[in-house]
Structure 1
Amino acid sequence: MEQQTLLVVDDTPANIDVLAGMLKDDYQIKVAKNGEIALKIARRLPLDLILLDIMMPGIDGFEVCRRLKSDHTTRHIPIIFVTAKITAEDELKGLELGAVDYITKPFNPPIVQQRVKTQLALFNQSRELAIKVKQKTAELAATQLKVIQKLGRAAEYKDNETGMHVIRMSHYTHILAKAAGMCEADADMLMAASPMHDIGKIGISDAILRKPGKLTDDEFKEMKKHAEIGAEIIGENESELLKMAKIVAISHHEKWNGTGYPYGLKGEDIPRIGRIVAIADVFDALTCERPYKRAWSVEEAIAHLQQQAGEHFDPQLVPLFLEHMDEITKIMQSFKD
């Protein structure tokens, strides 16, 4: 059985050495000396558990936990806080943020090992339960996906696109989401939500959507409204899937360098699921023929993604996408227009 991967986060090297020494025989250990590095590692590597110091310079453990739990691609990772002393208020705060347990310093090796083992067992049970629930609700999930794909198709009827676009880009989204560390259940949900990315085009005039030439400044200004219209159409919902679809609709045209729309968000201020869908959507748009453009070759599209990494696209996500080109080209062949 492949070893599970733990991330130890502490600004004191001695504490990292002690924790890593206790756990390295049973797990793969990654380390980070501050919160910023921890966030980068968590968004780049699949992790099974994080041991997180609370008191650190820069962003503290509470803020790291908050950011991880607010990100759809990392919220599933169990977090155990590590602290020298803890008040009842701090303990409650950590649990409310989503931590699963606390370990106190100085470390007692058997207790540390048992608490890590317990939380990993619970995490594994949770994943197994999610798989069983997914199997039991497969028919309902398939129905929901069909409905959402039909809604996405409704927007495309106005935009000279084909139904295969939403199928392909949703599969690309799923591949990239998994590569970015998203758990299976959330990656499946994003795959189901992504076809609604352009639902707001229903509210844009046909004259603009079907114009074969370049849009004027006023026309492009009108076109850009489709992101906000899409979010309004989806609205406020209790459904996690529709919440995700709303985030995708409003954020998939934002750009890493801050020049996107509707809000001009920059870098990691853009929801990561929006950044994932942006790459999948643009890649498929580039490689498809449209009334106003020829289809680009895969090589040309790859070159564009590489050129725009750090400008249009998240520079960490582009390489992850390109690492899976074999899967992506198979999808292109399976769902041709």
Structure 2
Amino acid sequence: MHAPHSQYAIEARNIVKRFDGEAAVDGIDLTIRKGSIFGILGPNGAGKTTTLRMLLGIIDPDEGERFLLGSPEPISMAHQVGYLPEERGLYQSMKAFDAIAFMGALRGLPLAEGRKRGRAMMEDHGLGDAADKQIRQLSKGMAQTVQLLGTLVHDPDLIILDEPFSGLDALNQGKLERLIRAQADKGVTIIFSTHVIAHAERLCEEIAIIADGKISFKGKVSTARDRLRPQVHLETRNLDGPWRTAIPAECKPLGHNWHFTLPESGVEPLLHALVEGGAGIESLSIERPGLHDAFVQIAGDAAARKMEADAGNNNGDETA
């Protein structure tokens, strides 16, 4: 067994998990720095949840090793971890603030302190009037917020959220993003899985892309995007002239509009050729590829289409 490194909240080396002889996770290596927001991207069935459960010690890998907060026995660190599983579940007859306290008690927080914090947290999130309501009386968005607050009530050093945005409408998704950023500002390590690329692009410094139980990319979001060259959107008054040599030969105009990949030489030589060659520039913009484009290039069209379908199937319709 290798010794863990102190700068990492999570380390996994060649972890494998099989179900009925089929590899759900197939040789994953993963390191996640303390204090970072890390996103695990992939369609449903890619192995995200199985990976998180192994990292947490809920299930053991068939092969490989993993360390959570430096421990080779992740379950022993449960009191320092906040975990929101993909399957949501709260006792329906329990009052909201009691549900938060109960979840904290499972992680070692005294029940009385949990109740005090639970009320305060609901007040801070604009849900003070719902603190004494039973879970069954809350909207879906409110109930999900209560479960999330219960994940945080014991002040964990590491927060792991499995598809936390699933089922939330745009308003509650925005609230959750702000809450994640606030925890990160306190130095907490946050790991979340998602099939909605936009959340990872807005929140994460680093990501891992998982497909078919394997990691096809791990690194900075900017590194993933830099795999693709920027795109040029150009509108000209003229359609011909010496400047045309600056545009890829295969590029054809749509009206007076041109769309092509920025040449390796960069924007300044392009701009010089357009001006000196008499293109008559009406507008020019350089668009850096987004994480979605990078995901398609890394994981393929089929995985990207499945991600979009998963996101569409899990749109929330609740407001809170």
**Shorter chain as normaliser: what TM range?**
under 0.3
The one of the two structures with greater contact order (alpha-carbon pairs below 8 A, sep at least 6) is 2
**Which structure shows the higher helix fraction?**
1
TM value normalised by structure 2: 0.27
TM value normalised by structure 1: 0.26
User: In terms of Rg, which structure is larger?
Assistant: 2
**Which structure shows the higher strand fraction?**
2
